[in-house]
Amino acid sequence: MKIASTLFLGFGALVASFTSPAGPGFTTSWEGGDSYIAGGAYEVTISVDVDATEPSDVPSWSLNSSAFKLNGKALGKRANNKLTLDPGTHLTATFDLGPALVEAGVGEAFELSFAEGEARKIEIFKAAPAGLTFMDPSSVPDGDLANYRVLMHTNQGDMLMEMYPHLAPNHVRNFLDLNYTGYYDNVIFHRVIPTFMIQGGDKSGTGAGPGRRQLNAEFSTEKHVRGILSMARTPDVNSASAQFFVMHAAYPSLDGQYSIFGKLISGYDTLDKIVNTPAPGSRPSVDQVILSSTVLYVPSAK
């Protein structure tokens, strides 16, 4: 098979890029998430770049799931067929490894490698079960709130958030409820200020829209430092609702004035991309969108 142009197969939301071994006249790389939600999709993208000088033969298996090894074992039989690619060809294939991971029965963190490249550790999370009512303590007891995390998917990447019910249990319940029920899906970050914070959660996109409920303040001595999650409000201290902000840097003047309810565990690169979006005033010129959220159950959480 001879290919003389750039070929693109599929599309996926990607998190990290890893360099992989090269062959004669070509280089390879792959992209994928650093975590996997058990039973769900795990999209990967493979890229092959041929040198600009002469054609190169690339193993056909390098563009399908058998190119990957799970804990050192290939995810399928590798055929001997080759693709002859013209100089300068950029070949990209995106597909879902989720079914192969389910078939392999992965139940805990695993190592994933591409071709003969270095293995990467992939964490496994379990989605919260269906039918929970986070605002109801009989459905989710107070003592269980810290076992939930939020994986927020944005158009700039993912952010993984832990909850602080020891500081603001009602704010944690509210935030988990809004994410669990899809309230934040396709809602933008309407305010971004470098060295300060990103703010979102308003369905109207204006910064003036109401949420489902108002919350009484739950102030604490926790500091507003980089990665902290806190709730926006009006001058009324008991007016927090759906709008939240993620601190880009420490801002001591907020301490004790807003209800802190959690912190980023990972996704600081996503935070940086969102906050550094060109924004006349403080509103991004290109929408920074919360595509969806997944509430995770992590019993080992603090």
pLDDT in tens, 209-229: 889 999 999 999 999 999 999
| DSSP class of 254 | G
Confidence (pLDDT) at 76: 85
- CATH 2.40.100.10 segments of the chain: 128-297
Confidence (pLDDT) at 302: 54
177: three-class secondary structure by DSSP: helix
Taking only the tens place, the pLDDT of each residue in 225-278 is: 999 999 999 999 999 999 999 999 999 999 999 999 999 999 999 999 999 999
Kind plus residue range of the DSSP H or E element containing 173: helix 169-180
- CATH 2.60.40 segments of the chain: 2-125
Weakest mean pLDDT among 4-8, 148-152, 195-199: 4-8
Strand residue runs (E) in 103-220: 110-114, 120-127, 148-154, 157-163, 187-193, 197-200
Long-range CB pairs of 280-286, under 8 A, 24+ apart, other chains included = 282/191, 282/192, 282/193, 283/190, 283/191, 283/192, 284/188, 284/189, 284/190, 284/192
Confidence (pLDDT) at 20: 52
The CATH architecture to which 2-125 belongs is: Sandwich (2.60)
Say whether pLDDT at 281 is over 60. Answer: yes
pLDDT band at 141 (very low <50, low <70, confident <90, very high): very high
Classify domain 128-297 at the CATH superfamily level. Answer: Cyclophilin-like (2.40.100.10)
Confidence (pLDDT) at 269: 95
| Tokens representing residue 291 in the block | 């595509």
Alpha helices, DSSP H, located in 41-150: 98-104
> Percent helix, strand and coil across the chain, each rounded to 5?
15, 40, 50
